[in-house]
Amino acid sequence: MTEQSRPQVLVIGGGPSGLAAAEILTGGHCEVTVVDHMPSFGRKFLMAGRSGLNLTNAEQETAFLQRYGAAQDWLAPALSAFSPSMMTVWAEELGQPCFTGSSGRVFPKAMKASPLLRAWLKRLADRGVHFRAGMRWQGWKSNGDVVLVSRNGSEETLRADATVLALGGGSWTRLGSDGGWVPLLSAAGVPVAALRPANCGFHVEWSEGFRERFSGAPLKRIALSFAAETCRGEAVITRKGLEGGAVYTLSALLRDALERDGTADVLLDLRPDFDVSQMTERLKRSRARESLSNRLRKALQLSPVAVGLLRETGEIPADPEQLAQRLKTIPIRLSATEPLERAISSAGGVCQSGVDQRFMLKELPGVFACGEMLDWEAPTGGYLLQAVIATGRAAGQGVLDWLAERELVA
């Protein structure tokens, strides 16, 4: 096959899903171009790795798949074709040795995204991938050519034999995922579920005194419960409400309840390692003449913010057993989600009914979608990036299979 006859494949979106698609495509004798409307590639990927790049999770396979909720059967083939163990091997082949933390989360030892991204981009460039930054996708001409607009407003059209859309969801808009693709695909007849915040914080109507004193204070080693689901972890008091890992794990349930009912009451357990009887005995041994803060600090090692929450959310029982029960079931009423642009990820996107098993859009043959553009969600902890890269690779393979059917690649 000559250079001139190589099929032209355009990947629109230079985040991890688009780069994963491009990587697969380099093995199929395609001429691959990756474009992104931001000035550089992988910006959200870099930001997500600032506090430690969580690549994937070593959780047992059945439990791992369940993290994707209603989308688990849909995503299972892609996650099987690129499993968490394969993610680790892939990162190590790029010169980034990994380790598994006590929670099962897998990280590169460097704990940063930048070395991995640099090595990844270099490998793609060495394989002949072309990169074009600062080009925003604006749909198609009537003849099927792809329309791109540069940052200075000049328009350009490109002819592609196949296109992979990897434009992300609607969170972190300043890093490129702005959901601007939704009206373009909806106008083409592609079913798209509304983008909604996922792994997000929530608003709580704190008193002014509590807000001023405790905004930014962490709640460590707690448990949150809602709708028969309980999650241990940490949270943070914010000026507007509550956020953090334990909150994010329950965020889909909480968001849906808020949309349905207008409010949602989550229960906070300040000492999940103790049962009520153990806490009661400890409280009984404390000195009644001491202040409440000192009693709770000495008996249960509760922080000032924990005591503040107890005061913030109702009357404080004097009876030790009732106080213990209260400390394990502090009600916090949520009034709203943080807006989509402040969420870690987004739910919604291209519906399963809108793509075939290769992630090709049924309404637009030769156009594939992947990553957060698809209608799935998962908690933090390695599940997001795993599915983003896995679906990108699956879409890239889908392109190769489709081109082979059309005898455009061997």
Q: Which of 289, 317, 337 is the last residue of a domain?
A: 337
pLDDT in tens, 72-93: 999 999 999 999 999 999 999 9
Residue 410: inside a domain, yes or no?
no
Q: How many angstroms separate the CA atoms of 410 and 405, rounded?
A: 9
Question: What are the distances in angstroms from CA 297 to CA 87, 212, 306, 330, 356?
Answer: 44, 21, 10, 17, 57
Q: Per-residue pLDDT for 290 more than 90? A: no
Instruction: Say if residue 120 is in the same domain as residue 193.
Output: yes
C-beta atoms surrounding 71 within 10 Å: 18
pTM: 0.93
Question: What size, in residues, is the chain?
Answer: 410
Structure tokens at 190: 């592609």
Residue 62: inside a domain, yes or no?
yes
Instruction: Say if residue 38 is in the same domain as residue 130.
Output: yes
Contact between 187 and 364 under an 8 Å Cβ cutoff? The reply is no
Instruction: Say if residue 316 is in the same domain as residue 267.
Output: yes
Instruction: Say if residue 98 is in the same domain as residue 175.
Output: yes
Domain that holds residue 294: 202-337
pLDDT at 172: 85
pLDDT at 48: 81
Contact between 237 and 215 under an 8 Å Cβ cutoff? The reply is yes
Instruction: Say if residue 250 is in the same domain as residue 161.
Output: no
Q: Which of 337, 363, 397 is the last residue of a domain?
A: 337
Instruction: Say if residue 230 is in the same domain as residue 125.
Output: no
Q: Helix (H) and strand (E) counts for the chain?
A: 15, 20
Determine the longest span between alpha carbons in the chain, in angstroms: 88
Q: How many angstroms separate the CA atoms of 79 and 58, rounded?
A: 13
Q: Per-residue pLDDT for 384 more than 60? A: yes
Residue 125: CATH number of its domain:
3.50.50.60
Contact between 163 and 368 under an 8 Å Cβ cutoff? The reply is yes
Q: What percent of the chain has pLDDT over 70?
A: 99
Residue 103: inside a domain, yes or no?
yes
Q: How many angstroms separate the CA atoms of 392 and 164, rounded?
A: 9
Q: Is 9 helix (H, G, I), strand (E, B) or coil?
A: strand
pLDDT at 287: 81
- List the beta bridge partners of residue 36: 133
Q: Is 102 helix (H, G, I), strand (E, B) or coil?
A: coil
How confident is residue 1, by pLDDT bands cut at 50, 70 and 90? Answer: very low
Instruction: Say if residue 354 is in the same domain as residue 314.
Output: no
Instruction: Say if residue 13 is in the same domain as residue 145.
Output: yes
Q: Is 372 helix (H, G, I), strand (E, B) or coil?
A: helix
Round the average pLDDT of the chain to a whole number and report it. 95
Q: Which DSSP letter does residue 374 get?
A: B
Across 82-238, where does the E strand assignment appear? 98-100, 105-108, 130-133, 135-140, 146-150, 155-158, 162-165, 192-198, 202-203, 218-226, 229-237
Instruction: Say if residue 222 is in the same domain as residue 288.
Output: yes
Contact between 195 and 179 under an 8 Å Cβ cutoff? The reply is yes
How confident is residue 410, by pLDDT bands cut at 50, 70 and 90? Answer: low
pLDDT in tens, 342-372: 999 999 999 999 999 999 999 999 999 999 9
Instruction: Say if residue 179 is in the same domain as residue 224.
Output: no
For helices 292-300 and 276-284, what crossing angle results, to 10°? Answer: 120
- Contacts of residue 187, defined as CB under 8 A and 6 or more positions apart, other chains included, come to none
Residue 136: inside a domain, yes or no?
yes
Instruction: Say if residue 166 is in the same domain as residue 65.
Output: yes
Residue 186: inside a domain, yes or no?
yes
Residue 342: inside a domain, yes or no?
no
pLDDT in tens, 155-195: 999 999 999 999 999 998 888 889 999 999 999 999 999 99
C-beta atoms surrounding 189 within 10 Å: 11
More confident of the two residues 202 and 173: 202
Q: What is the mean pLDDT of residues 3-19?
A: 90
Instruction: Say if residue 10 is in the same domain as residue 130.
Output: yes
Give the sign of the dihedral formed by CA 90, CA 94, CA 99, CA 103: negative
pLDDT at 2: 44
Q: What is the mean pLDDT of residues 320-328?
A: 96
Place of tokens 């916090």: 332
Contact between 169 and 372 under an 8 Å Cβ cutoff? The reply is yes
Place of tokens 């390695």: 382
Q: What percent of the chain has pLDDT over 90?
A: 90
Domain count across the chain? 2
pLDDT in tens, 242-283: 999 999 999 999 999 999 999 999 999 999 999 999 999 999
Q: How many angstroms separate the CA atoms of 96 and 108, rounded?
A: 6
Q: What is the mean pLDDT of residues 331-347?
A: 96
Residue 105: inside a domain, yes or no?
yes
- List the beta bridge partners of residue 135: 150
Q: Which of 310, 337, 364 is the last residue of a domain?
A: 337
Q: Give the HSE-up count for residue 216: Cα atoms under 13 Å, Cβ half-sphere.
A: 2
Q: How many angstroms separate the CA atoms of 333 and 118, rounded?
A: 44
pLDDT at 4: 53
Residue 73: inside a domain, yes or no?
yes
